[in-house]
Amino acid sequence: MDNDTQQPEITELEETKLHAEEYLNNWKRAQADFVNYKKDEGKRAEELVKFGNESIILEMVDVVGNLELAFQHTPAEVRSNQKQWFDGLTQVVKQFELLLKKYGVERIAVAGQKFDPTVHEAVGELDDKLPLVEARPGYTMHGKVIRPARVNNG
């Protein structure tokens, strides 16, 4: 064999240093992966806590919506003759609204707004020249649409 083409032998010490460096780099990589995993899991847990009540909230907004419909269709004589009863129910609706707000739930604005498909759901054809009318309220929870507002032109 020609001595010029032979690669110099790696000493046992050099080989051990290379292995140690490789192990250290792998350990650093694994540690960084673990830190990233913990951050991702923290974000997932936060999202779960934030939106874990979404299905219950959606049921609650249906109840509030039905109460609001009942108020809209309450005859004037009931409002005046049963004022205390009517005022009591009004307070219950306000309590529901405060509870929803406590959990980051907000009603989607319709009045004076232009149709926005990210927050509105059209019920029938819409005319851009006519104002939007709310057919069913929509809601966001912590900025995420959980139920779009159904809208039409009245």
- What DSSP character marks residue 11? P
Rounded to the nearest 5°, which phi and psi values hold at 57?
Answer: -60, -45
pTM, two decimals, is: 0.68
Question: Alpha-carbon dihedral of residues 114, 116, 121, 125, nearest 10 degrees?
Answer: 50
Query: Which candidate, 118, 125, 104, places its Cα nearest to that of 149?
Result: 118
Q: Is the pLDDT of residue 2 over 80?
A: no
Confidence class for position 89, pLDDT limits 50, 70, 90: confident
Q: Is residue 148 within 8 Å of residue 108, measured between CB atoms?
A: yes
Q: Is residue 109 within 8 Å of residue 145, measured between CB atoms?
A: no
By percentage, how much of the chain surpasses pLDDT 70? 95
DSSP line for 14-47: HHHHHHHHHHHHHHHHHHHHHHHHHHHHHHHHHH
Mean pLDDT of the residues in the chain: 89
**What does the pLDDT look like over 34-76, one tens digit per residue?**
999 999 999 998 888 888 888 899 999 999 989 888 888 889 9
- The more confident residue out of 121 and 8 is 121
